[in-house]
Copies of this chain bind each other. A is one copy, B any other.
Amino acid sequence: MYLTNKTKLKIIPLGGLNEIGKNMTVIEYGNDIIVIDCGLAFPDDEMLGIDLVIPDISYLLKNKEKVRAIVLTHGHEDHIGALPYVLRQLNVPVYGTRLTLGLVEYKLKENGLLRDSKLVTVKPRETVTFGQLKVEFIRTSHSIADSAALAIHTPVGVVFHSGDFKIDFTPIGGEVADFHRFAELGEQGVLVMMCDSTNIERPGYTMSEKTVGDTFDNIFRKAEQRIIVATFASNIHRVQQIIDSAYKYGRKVSISGRSMINVINVANELGYLSIPEGTLVDIDEANKLPYNEVVIITTGSQGEPMSALTRMASSEHKKVEIVPGDTVVISASAIPGNEKLISRVINQLFKKGAEVIYDALADVHVSGHACQEEIKLLHTLIKPQFFIPVHGEYRHLKQHAKLAEDLGMDPKNIFIADNGTVIEFTKNSGRIAGTVTAGKVLVDGLGVGDVGNIVLRDRKHLSQDGLLVVVVTISKEKGSVIAGPDIISRGFVYVRESEDLMEEAKNLVKETLSQCEKDDITEWSSIKTMIKECLSSFLYEKTKRNPMILPIIMEI
């Protein structure tokens, strides 16, 4: 490609717009592409049987030779979770802060990809150069340690990406966001800002992580027996505060849940946790201690069916049995869609006699995302020429655009984009210039992208009213029925109580088949369609249900 003064900067979101999750943004200038984040999303309710969703990276594969690196803002799954899938197709170096890469390393090791991957640790305020793009990492606060915003210095100006952030003047670990650098960038001039929209609908400020520590302190002071705290595994600062309270009140800490154990190991090895000697004990050891000397930190704060807390609540945990007197703290709020799962766990814990403390009853959680006033502060410091709201559904992007307008920005300079939208910039102009392929790739077991709309539609149909399989063996020569019809149903009715119905259905198919024979209809597809139609209307009339009907004809 021939580079001229007219070369334009392209920003292309491939994920994270009009959705929560699977964040990924392409920054392209001439022959250089860098990719910000590489996240996964969790499936919607309609994506039956799907494990997770990753971005469609067709555009990156088509421009493979240009892609210099993936740069990560922080170590949450919605920012790093697609790496094992993406790196298999596009093996480029991955840049991030220490903890972020510690978590990535673990993930790649699990997937057998570590040996072939190149991970490069970057410190806050460090800048890495990729051709004509220079990426600077800048400290922020978030619900995971070592989160960063990015300033991408390009020949046409600075692109600022907030990453996920909040403003916390009293962060655990002590280092506040780098307001000075934000201010300096703003003063020097920022071409375009992309900013987290997650909490844009919430007025005011998100409380400091420290306030949760005060609540823990209160709970720990009063608890007379065992304490069990469930939280997000990646929230190292939360874990630190639990450990601090445990130490203060003379309790040992035991960890339960695979992801919790993994993250704590990684964070501890890298020095992101300060755990007093002898505080950590394994569950077997904890089980030998008096209850009032024990704290268990566990996964399951979203009521996830296979998580440690859910197993404790349903008496399926091998090592921990909930007993009256236990205090269980669910230190999280519900991610939309998980309300009922969490509620079920709370009910079960109460029934077992535990004291359960959750967000409706006490301040046991704060968000990791900025509310309106914090977002305003960032806009004001960065004062970008152009603005692209990111990380949110359309409602959030729209509200964020409104907030930017309220702060005085010209609506023409704000781009509410979609995944795949190409936004082009020069030094003093910005415009939507087209679209590239973007979308959701569904992961189901080992299959990546092999489950599409037809398969999902069938799963949905099967889930609602089950199915009937009709099998009949027909003579090739005579066209007459040799065996069957047999009817087998699953998920439709309770068969033992519906024998008459099934018998009637069978007779109906028989009649249809002899009608076909009489009318000399021998085309399989016609026979199948007739069986389907007669059965379908018969069953709907009798049951007001629409099972999937699968006619199978064997010919001999």
A residues whose Cβ falls under 8 Å from a Cβ of B: 18, 44-45, 48-49, 201-202, 336-337, 339-340, 343, 346-347, 350-351, 356, 360-361, 393-395, 398-399, 444-447, 450-452, 454-456, 458-467, 469, 471, 473, 482-484, 486, 488, 490-494, 497-498, 542-545, 548, 550, 552, 554-556
Contacts and interface: CB of A to CB of B under 8 A. Distances in A.
16 contacts: A337-B339, A337-B340, A350-B395, A445-B543, A446-B544, A450-B498, A455-B494, A458-B490, A459-B466, A473-B554, A473-B556, A483-B554, A484-B554, A490-B548, A490-B550, A556-B556
Q: Tell which of A454, A455, A498, A548 has the most Cβ of chain B within 10 Å.
A: A455
Contact of A550 (B356, B469, B497): B469
A347 B393 CA distance: 7
B483 A555 contact: yes
Given A361-B399, A473-B483, 8 more contacts: A18-B347, A48-B463, A444-B465, A445-B465, A446-B545, A462-B466, A473-B556, A483-B556
Nearest to A348: B394
Contacts of A550: 469, 488, 490
Nearest to A392: B347
A350 B399 CA distance: 10
Nearest to A458: B491
Nearest to A484: B554
B346 A471 contact: no
Given A463-B460, A484-B554, A497-B450, A492 B455 contact: yes
A459 to B, nearest CB: 4
A454 B497 CA distance: 12
A358 to B, nearest CB: 8
Contact of A462 (B45, B462, B471): B462
A544 B446 CA distance: 6
A463 B469 contact: no
A215 to B, nearest CB: 16
Copy number of this protein in the oligomer? 2
Given A455-B492, A545-B447, A394 B45 contact: no
A414 to B, nearest CB: 14
A464 B49 contact: yes
A404 to B, nearest CB: 16
Q: Tell which of A340, A490, A545, A550 has the most Cβ of chain B within 10 Å.
A: A490
A99 B157 CA distance: 67
Contacts of A493: 447, 450-451, 455
A548 B459 CA distance: 12
A347 B418 CA distance: 13
A-B pairs with the 7 shortest C-beta distances?
A: A445-B544, A463-B463, A458-B491, A462-B462, A49-B464, A459-B491, A347-B394
A266 B360 CA distance: 38
Contacts of A492: 455
A49 B473 contact: no
B44 A340 contact: yes
A450 B555 CA distance: 35
Contacts of A486: 552, 554
A339 B340 contact: no
A463 B491 CA distance: 10
A459 B464 contact: yes
A72 to B, nearest CB: 27
A343 to B, nearest CB: 6
Nearest to A48: B463
Contacts of A393: 343, 347
Contact of A346 (B48, B395, B450, B473): B395
B451 A361 contact: no
A45 B46 CA distance: 11
Contacts of A343: 336, 393, 395
A194 to B, nearest CB: 19
Contacts of A455: 466, 491-494
B473 A395 contact: no
Nearest to A398: B350
B201 A556 contact: no
A49 B497 contact: no
A346 B228 CA distance: 38
Contacts of A542: 446
